[in-house]
Amino acid sequence: MTSTVPAPGTRTAEGSALQAVLLDMDGTLVDTEGFWWDVEAEVFAGLGHTLDDSWRHVVVGGPMARSAGFLIEATGADITLDDLTVLLNEGFEERIGRALPLMPGAARLLAELSEHEVPTALVSASHRRIIDRVLTSLGAQHFALTVAGDEVARTKPHPDPYLFAAAGLGADPARCAVIEDTATGVAAAEAAGCHVVAVPSVAPIAPAAGRTVVTSLEEVDLTFLRDLMRSDDRPADHR
């Protein structure tokens, strides 16, 4: 898979049609944001360091390099970024091998999107090896495309992953609904020009223009997403 962002799709938005749904993974579809923090705490405990709970809001939703780099700098741990990345991925894989709880409403929403043949992509800052493991529980058949954080030159909070996903589905980003749980993911989707549904997991997210905040995926269905497009007449913004 190329690491560059393709040009936005040539398909133009017609009226208020919903063209695609792009979903984050950790904390949005699967209840794993806490898993990442637990693994980070365990790994750093093994290195002789205790993580400050206030750092959790700094690392949540971010790319592995940013989160791991922050923790190395904050603790002064004697480990390279590459070595830490390996330990974190291995620890997370072991954790999800034991249990992988889905967020409330996730299975129902994915089934509904599949039933109505809505083009759907999974867009995550997690690495490909993690996504492929999670897909065994989520159901790879629900996604026409998946984008991993180690497959784009710039991952969230940059717009690249969402521009890549929209182009891959032949959709106009302005007619894509993105579902995210963190401020980092919301920033990426909004920079791509998408309409965002925020379902905050760890830290609160405030409503804003072009952004709808809900408390659970149980509030979101296909009618809800189509109605968002009808109420959103913002021009496309392909930054």
pLDDT digits (tens, 9 = 90+) for 185-205: 999 999 999 999 999 988 899
pLDDT number for residue 237: 38
pLDDT number for residue 140: 96
Determine the residue type at 17.
A
Distance CA 99, CA 32 (A): 10
Helices (H), 47-141: 56-59, 64-75, 81-98, 106-115, 128-138
pLDDT number for residue 92: 83
Residues of the chain with pLDDT under 70: 1-16, 61-62, 232-239
Provide CB contacts within 8 A for 224, sequence distance 6+. none
Determine the residue type at 213.
V
pLDDT number for residue 61: 65
How many CA atoms within 13 Å lie on the side-chain side of 133?
Answer: 20
Q: What is the pTM of this model?
A: 0.77
pLDDT number for residue 67: 85
Q: Is 15 left (phi over 0), alpha (psi -120 to 50) or beta?
A: left
**Tokens matching residue 76:** 């002064």
